[in-house]
A and B are shown apart, each in its own frame.
Chain A
Amino acid sequence: MRWSISPLIIVFLCLPAVADELQSRLALADKDRGRVVFGPCRTCHYPDALMGHNSGPNLSEIFGKVAGKQAGFAYYSARFKQAEFVWTPQLMFTWLENPMAMFPDSAMMSLGVPDPQDRADMIAFLMQATVPD
């Protein structure tokens, strides 16, 4: 339990550095590679609004949304239900390195995307794919 709050605080403290790294990696990002990297995520999350929720919540317009609050999705963990933070590319970039380490009690049991350029490619893809046409 001693990790129940601190990881998120650490993440927020580190975000400026993360933003720098993500920015430099986004400049090199390959959206099509990102589309492929996103494959395992897609088995639970649809990026476009049309398909609705799956095992995980829909990701349409995810950047800018408060975490854990989407209408019609009843399967958030207690932590995400209570979360007050907003999804940003930086936070997503940090979280997806090892999701189960950052939020061990999240319902999203994912091994994450350890390679930073893979993560940046995927975020570049998501920034495009989650915006409505």
Chain B
Amino acid sequence: MDDLSGLGLSRRQLLVAAGAGSAAMASAAMALPRASVPRWDMQVDVIVAGSGAAGTCAAIEAKLAGASVLVLESLAIPGGSSSLSGGVIYAGGGTSLQRALKVEDSPEAMFNFLTRVGSPNPPREKIQLYCDQSPAHFDWLVAQGIPYTEKLTTAKGLPMGDESLYYSGTELAWPARELAAPAPRGHVPGVKGMNGGRTMMEALFGRLKKLGVELKTSVSSEQLIVESDGRVSGVVVSQAGERKYLGARLGVVLACGGFIHNRPMLEQYAPHLSRCSTPWGGAGDLGQGINMGIGVGAAALRMNEGFAVAPIYPPENTISGILVNRAGQRFISEDSYHAVIGHSIAYEQQGSAWLITDQASSYSSPQDNFPLVAESSSIGGIAEQLDMPRGGLQNTVAYYNRYAGKAQDPLFSKSKTYLRPIQGPPYKAWDISVDRAFFPAHTLGGLATTVDGEVISSFGELIPGLYAAGRNTAGIATAPYIASGLSVGDASFFGRRAGKAVAGSQ
């Protein structure tokens, strides 16, 4: 067999790969020229493709601005990934809930956190606006009917109780706590369990209904329709196997989510995420909206970025263990937010890591997120079972213990709350590798947009009539993902702005 492209792939393998790619796409997302549109099956002012937080918030604002709005959802059930999420909104700078609970915060502290702790060259303009208007945005969410309780918890992780405010990110871990004044900014609907997203979306759907916005399910957006001057003026959709042409007089808002379930796209754009065991998102996260945007010349940014989560807590006693890489070395403070840990494992440690625990830091009740892969009465025994370089893990533990006994962590400044020597067998190693552990991942890359959701082309120009929001875009959430609530927060905030902008763009 001939070897094509120097990749060691046979012609047959390439054909199979290409076939897999086309099967995952609903259709070629290339735009359709207006001249090829046989008729308008329906015309409204604004079409919103996607019914998650971004789409519904865009639709609400466009309707309030006086536009006629149609929301399209490809699946039978609306809500997208937002409805499966915890429903956390990252908000701060003195929200009404923070003030009611006597929490001190400022837009500056929030801005510092979002610009200094995460990725290089973050989208500053969007972050600035997001921080400045965060208290007002939270009030708007309350006004839509999302229920919040005046309760705060300091426990790590999404509250299982009905508390509505918590430290949802890596604010208290080093180095974040030295870069920005920490504050609890995770605002989550006040319902028990981890279904805040469902509660949030129920409220937003209720609002859509009250406003008389039509939401059509089982209608998938396939292609954008483009006028001869480049303006986007409609969408080709597929409904029960039939092709329909829907016109949008003012514009189209793409809010179709990310692409975590499109395997070929994931392997192509985000290879680190493609190795994670658990694609986490609604079944509609197939990248269709991103490809439709690219089809009309949009730039796509940060397509390799995403959040990858290693949920080693709760319980919190495990944080007193240590995380090590293949060389038996620590690489992060174990009290970091679990998506910061996940990012480091997926992107910086070649996908492999283990949590080493002693008797007190071991998982005490059965759990099958992280398989137990070594158990021994000595650290050397653990190293041997994990096939680590001779002496590496012993050195790591000896050095860690020497300082942990004095409540110090010279390497990663782990919080004193969790800092104590690893001592007391049995020692255990839990596999926290991307492909063995429960390791949820979601994409963060998408179309380039202005702060008003206008889609930007690869040449830096606006594409008239085209708007986008949520994970269909590259927003304020970048990798590493430093706090829960940034993605849905971004989707709701910039979804609203896109809705206002499209309705006012006549």
Contacts and interface: CB of A to CB of B under 8 A. Distances in A.
Interface of A: 32, 35-36, 39-40, 42-44, 47-48, 50, 52-55, 75, 100, 104-107, 109-111, 129, 133
Nearest to A42: B438
Interface of B: 75-77, 83-84, 193-195, 197-198, 218, 261, 277-280, 282-284, 365-366, 368, 371, 435-436, 438-440
Given A104-B218, A109-B76, A109-B284, A36 B84 contact: no
B196 to A, nearest CB: 10
14 contacts: A35-B368, A35-B371, A39-B277, A40-B280, A42-B278, A43-B84, A43-B280, A100-B75, A104-B218, A109-B75, A110-B283, A111-B261, A129-B368, A133-B366
Task: Specify which of B76, B284, B436 lies most central, judged by the most chain A CB atoms within 10 Å of its CB.
Answer: B76
Given A42-B278, A109-B282, A110-B283, A36 B77 contact: no
Given A39-B278, A43-B280, A55 B198 contact: yes
Given A54-B195, A109-B284, A40 B77 contact: no
Q: Give 4 closest A-B pairs by Cβ, nearest first.
A: A39-B278, A109-B283, A39-B277, A111-B283
Contacts of A100: 75-76, 283
A106 to B, nearest CB: 8
Contacts of B194: 54
B440 A36 contact: no
B76 A52 contact: no
B26 to A, nearest CB: 13
A55 B83 CA distance: 9
Contacts of A109: 75-77, 282-284
A32 B284 contact: no
B245 to A, nearest CB: 24
Contacts of B283: 100, 109-111
Contacts of A75: 198
Contacts, number: 54
A40 B282 contact: no
Dominant SS among interface residues on chain B: loop
A53 B440 contact: no
B81 to A, nearest CB: 10
A47 B366 CA distance: 12
Contacts of B438: 39, 42
A43 B198 contact: no
A124 B280 CA distance: 22
Contacts of B284: 109
Nearest to A104: B76
Contacts of B277: 36, 39
Given A55-B84, A109-B283, A111-B261, A39 B75 contact: no
Contact of A55 (B76, B195, B435): B195
Nearest to A36: B277
A58 B282 CA distance: 19
B77 A107 contact: yes
Contacts of B282: 109
Contacts of A105: 76
A105 B56 CA distance: 21
B505 to A, nearest CB: 32
Contact of A43 (B76, B278, B371): B278
Nearest to A43: B280
Task: Specify which of A36, A52, A100, A107 lies most central, judged by the most chain B CB atoms within 10 Å of its CB.
Answer: A36
A129 B365 CA distance: 14
Contacts of A35: 368, 371
A51 to B, nearest CB: 9
Given A55-B195, A109-B77, A133-B366, A36 B280 contact: no
Contacts of A44: 84
A133 B261 CA distance: 34
Contact of B435 (A36, A43, A53, A129): A36
Task: Specify which of A43, A50, A104, A105 lies most central, judged by the most chain B CB atoms within 10 Å of its CB.
Answer: A43
Contacts of A43: 84, 278, 280, 440
A40 B195 contact: no
